[in-house]
């Protein structure tokens, strides 16, 4: 080694990533990111924390819909949905022999919850999908992947 630099880690380094957080919203694109994250975890012998985030009722259900879809109902539907989504991830992890914890974070914005949970679980990699919104949709809806990329202090693997 020269100049005090360490060689860049490679995928053959078994301890390169030991704790991987995989964010999922249950969409087809997100499922592909889950598959890739779990395959990487299996190859590296890493533990996984799978996370699903339910945004606050006030940001997800607005206007007249808020009256028709009360917060109690919203929470029940969100909990059932998260259970299905995370159950599927846990089963896939089991089939690959990957240790997997599941976390459902409620009433938070996705990007903030993903970064917070990665830090709380001492993860060294975040894996998530990017839905690739462009133009006006990106302006109004924002990009959760971009928010995670810009606010995370650990590496983020974006799957498309």
pLDDT in the model for residue 71 = 75
Number of domains in the chain: 1
> What is the CA 92 to chain-centroid distance, rounded?
15
CATH number at residue 35: 3.40.50.620
Q: In sequence order, what are the beta bridge partners of 20?
A: 48, 125
Query: Residue 120 domain-assigned?
Result: yes
Within a 10 A sphere around the Cβ of 22, how many other Cβ atoms?
31
pLDDT digits (tens, 9 = 90+) for 100-126: 999 999 988 899 999 999 999 999 999
41 within 8 A of 48, measured Cβ to Cβ: yes
Q: Which residues of the chain have pLDDT under 70?
A: 1-15, 57-69, 132-142
Query: Residue 108 domain-assigned?
Result: yes
Query: Residue 2 domain-assigned?
Result: no
pLDDT in the model for residue 101 = 98
Structure tokens at 78: 């969100």
DSSP type of residue 7: P
Query: Residue 4 domain-assigned?
Result: no
Cα maximum dimension of the chain: 66
Q: Tell me the whole-structure pTM to 2 decimals.
A: 0.81
Structure tokens at 59: 């940001």
Domain range holding 68?
A: 19-159
Query: Residue 144 domain-assigned?
Result: yes
pLDDT in the model for residue 137 = 43
pLDDT in the model for residue 64 = 55
Query: Residue 6 domain-assigned?
Result: no
> What is the CA 156 to chain-centroid distance, rounded?
10
Query: Residue 5 domain-assigned?
Result: no
Query: Residue 7 domain-assigned?
Result: no
CA separation (Å) from 81 to 27, 77, 84? 12, 6, 5
Residues sharing a CB contact under 8 Å with residue 76, sequence separation 6 or more, in sequence order: none
Residue carrying structure tokens 């059932």: 80
Give the dihedral of Cα atoms 50, 147, 78, 101; nearest 10 deg. 10
pLDDT in the model for residue 57 = 66
pLDDT in the model for residue 153 = 96
């Amino acid at each position: 080694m020269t100049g005090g630099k360490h060689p860049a880690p490679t995928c053959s380094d078994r301890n390169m990533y030991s704790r991987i957080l995989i964010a999922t919203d249950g969409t087809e694109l997100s499922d592909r990111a889950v598959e890739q994250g779990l395959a990487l975890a299996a190859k590296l012998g890493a533990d996984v924390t799978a996370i699903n985030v339910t945004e606050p009722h006030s940001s997800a259900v607005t206007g007249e819909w808020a009256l028709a879809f009360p917060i109690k109902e919203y929470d029940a539907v969100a909990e059932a949905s998260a259970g299905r989504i995370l159950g599927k991830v846990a089963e896939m992890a089991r089939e690959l022999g990957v240790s997997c914890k599941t976390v459902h974070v409620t009433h938070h914005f996705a990007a903030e919850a993903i970064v917070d949970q990665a830090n709380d679980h001492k993860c060294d990699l975040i894996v998530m999908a990017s839905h690739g919104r462009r133009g006006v949709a990106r302006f109004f809806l924002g990009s959760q992947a971009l928010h995670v990329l810009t606010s995370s202090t650990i590496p983020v693997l974006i799957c498309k």
